[in-house]
Structure 1
Amino acid sequence: MKVIIHPKYGPPEVLQLSTLEKPVPKEHEVLIKVKATTVNRTDCAILRAKPFIMRWVTGFLKPVKIIPGTDFAGVIEAVGKDVVSFKAGEKVFGFDDSGLSSSAEYLTLSADKALTTIPKNVSYEQAAASSEGAHYAYNMLNKVNLTSGQKALVNGASGAIGSAALQFLKYFGLDVVAVCGTKNVELIKSLGANQVMDYTREDFTQTDQKFDFIFDTVGKSSFAKCKSLLNPGGVYLSSELGWMAQNIFFALFTPIFGKKKVIFPIPSDIKGSLLFIKKLMEEGKFKPVIDRQYPLEQIAEAYRYVEKGQKTGNVIITMDAGS
């Protein structure tokens, strides 16, 4: 089977197209023919092992898993003899932020891991795009108590996390102000934003509006800049650690010493996220944003594009023309 490998950490140039034997599922595993995967911020961080602390999980001197990829959509080709929750022929998607080695034509995965069936109205590409960013978005939202009628701001609303967070917030009945660049204003309006602010024309931190929640899905602002925008009891959440890991520090102390606080949303319960995402896709309440697609052979170019930090939604890698 065709696979992408990265025997060492580094820029996209370390990625190599190679071939390996097709894996055989163990008794508790499923064999999945991968139809689509993505290149996302998690993948880029793992590729370069940045921040350095990641190496304690991904391998200190070199990658433990040499095949990159954290999410996938595909079809089950075979199941181990102990698997009862899935059967051959089912279309499934899944995600694991520690790595799934999904930049390959096939992968094996324990049946109890974070995977679930794809809704009938969803393509492989859409399913793959509904994992990483949407999982992180849901794990920001489920760290707070959302009430219909509250007001939230989403910074970075055109990214994979931000575009999902916007749609989830609307699902829960919130009034959402979304921040994005000029080229994506109409897209973000179409996703349901009550108001769109173009960051190339105005600084959202200077607005007179007040919010119950600020979701910084790109980590390009800070609690210090956003604090004045929060209502009493308001919450700032960021997808990034911040300068000198300040968001973890603030998350420890602001709930004790202030009326406005920081919550750092450590992701958890990936399977729970996937089930929530699947439910919303089935109801037509969530549609992932797809920027562009690359064939597996051009994955290095996809990494280079994602590393620019200007993608809209998700970047898809397809395995074959029939995906």
Structure 2
Amino acid sequence: MRALVRREYGGPERLEVAELPVPEPRRGEVLVRVAASAINAADAYLLRGEPRIVRLSTGLRRPRRVILGRDVAGVVERVGPDVSGFAPGDRVLGEADGAWAEFAVIPAAALAHVPRGASGATAFSFEVAATLPLPGTTAWQALAIARPAIGPGARVLVTGASGNVGLFVVQLARAADAEVTGLASPSRLDLVRSAGAARVVDRTDPAADPGREYDLVVDLTADRSLGDLVARLAPRGTYVSSSGRGGRVLGPLPRIAATTVRGLFTRRRLRVLAARRNGVDLARIVELAARGDIRPIVDGVIGLDRVADAVARLERGEPLGRVVVRVAEPARPTPSSAARSGAA
């Protein structure tokens, strides 16, 4: 199969297209022929092996996993043993460990179906579906920590509101009739406003005051002090930290530790979100997108051969929305594929 790989840690220049064997689905897994993927900030961090502490699990000197990418949309090619609910030919989306390739193996529990509309056609394209998995489920799980408090009249503050996750947090909170304030860079304020924020604040302006008495603060950047954000909570408010940023060595670990310790000494709820792959949560996001309650914001669609340039753009903070990677237009599984799946 054709795949985008990296053999060493480093910048986007390390990425190259190569031919690799098609992986085999194991028990509880599904092999998906990938139609589209997308680029996340986490991909850029993993490409460089940063923060350095992650190399304890990804490989100290060289990466153990050569294919990056998390978001997948495509067609089920075949399924492994003990898989129910998915069959060859199903159009699906989910999170993989290695999505920038023509095939990806994904746990069935991390998949959801691409829905069909009233006419029988799919409700949206593979390119749109590929924007949803990682940022959509992360946003859903961030808000789930504060439910049922997030509803009509609730006040929500989102840092990093113009990022992939932030835009979904804004839209999900707005869909719940909450009043949303979004912090973002000056060039991205209109983007956050278009996602449904009632108020936008320039995060680079030290004089800009986002206000206080928030029922929920979703912190996606950790570039404001923890004390400042906690002080903006209502007496029974909730602070959720879900930041992948931080120093080059320890990353978000100091923020995680500070949040955990401070949470022991306040009536406010301070939580650290460890987002997880979850097909049930993803299915809820898909349903909202199919209804038009949330809308993915796409910066552009590229091929595998342009991913390196797109990662460089991402590191410079240029994309306004998701960069989608068109891998291929999957064909229906061959009879031999279906037969192998059935035999399993």
- Fold in common (TM above 0.5): yes
Residues 225, 82 of structure 1: CA spacing in aligned structure 2 closer, same or farther, 3 A cutoff? closer
Q: Count matched residues.
A: 318
Residues 312, 67 of structure 1: CA spacing in aligned structure 2 closer, same or farther, 3 A cutoff? same
Q: Provide the residue aligned with 1:228 in structure 2.
A: 231
CA contact (8 A) 2:241 2:256 kept: no
1:2-17 alignment to 2 at 5 Å?
2-17=2-17
1:96-115 alignment to 2 at 5 Å?
96=96, 100-110=97-107, 112-115=108-111
Deviations 1:34-86 (CA, angstroms, capped at 9, x unpaired): 11111111211211121122123222332221111112111123345754421
Distance 1:249 1:79 in 2: 40
Residues 319, 207 of structure 1: CA spacing in aligned structure 2 closer, same or farther, 3 A cutoff? closer
Distance 2:26 2:135 in 1: 30
Look up the SS of the partner of 1:88 in the other structure.
Answer: coil
Deviations 1:133-159 (CA, angstroms, capped at 9, x unpaired): 122212221222333221011122111
Question: Is 2:131 the partner of 1:129?
Answer: yes
Deviation at 1:114, TM superposition (A): 0.6
CA contact (8 A) 1:154 1:166 kept: yes
Look up the SS of the partner of 2:127 in the other structure.
Answer: helix
Look up the SS of the partner of 2:230 in the other structure.
Answer: helix
Percent same amino acid among aligned pairs? 29
Deviation at 1:208, TM superposition (A): 4.0
Deviation at 1:214, TM superposition (A): 1.6
Deviations 1:168-191 (CA, angstroms, capped at 9, x unpaired): 112223111122234433333332
CA contact (8 A) 1:92 1:116 kept: yes
Give the partner amino acid of 2:94.
G
Distance 1:162 1:236 in 2: 15
Distance 2:206 2:124 in 1: 37
Q: Provide the residue aligned with 1:191 in structure 2.
A: 195
CA contact (8 A) 1:140 1:237 kept: yes
Q: Provide the residue aligned with 1:157 in structure 2.
A: 161
Distance 1:114 1:59 in 2: 24
Give the partner amino acid of 1:290.
V
- Structure 1 unaligned spans of 5+: none
- Normalized against structure 2, the TM-score is what? 0.83
Give the partner amino acid of 2:93.
F
Residues 81, 256 of structure 1: CA spacing in aligned structure 2 closer, same or farther, 3 A cutoff? closer
Give the partner amino acid of 1:142.
A
Q: Provide the residue aligned with 2:306 in structure 1.
A: 298
Distance 2:240 2:177 in 1: 19
Q: Provide the residue aligned with 2:58 in structure 1.
A: 58
Pick aligned residue for 2:178 from 174, 177, 182:
174
Pick aligned residue for 2:146 from 112, 131, 144:
144
Question: Is 2:83 the partner of 1:49?
Answer: no
- Structure 2 unaligned spans of 5+: 116-121, 332-344
Distance 1:116 1:154 in 2: 27
- Normalized against structure 1, the TM-score is what? 0.88
Distance 1:269 1:27 in 2: 17
CA contact (8 A) 1:251 1:261 kept: no
Question: Is 2:276 the partner of 1:276?
Answer: no
Q: Provide the residue aligned with 1:217 in structure 2.
A: 220
Look up the SS of the partner of 1:63 in the other structure.
Answer: coil
CA contact (8 A) 2:15 2:308 kept: yes
Residues 216, 311 of structure 1: CA spacing in aligned structure 2 closer, same or farther, 3 A cutoff? farther
Distance 1:203 1:167 in 2: 26
Residues 82, 135 of structure 1: CA spacing in aligned structure 2 closer, same or farther, 3 A cutoff? closer
Deviation at 1:166, TM superposition (A): 0.6
CA contact (8 A) 1:250 1:261 kept: no
Residues 67, 208 of structure 1: CA spacing in aligned structure 2 closer, same or farther, 3 A cutoff? closer
Q: Provide the residue aligned with 1:116 in structure 2.
A: 112
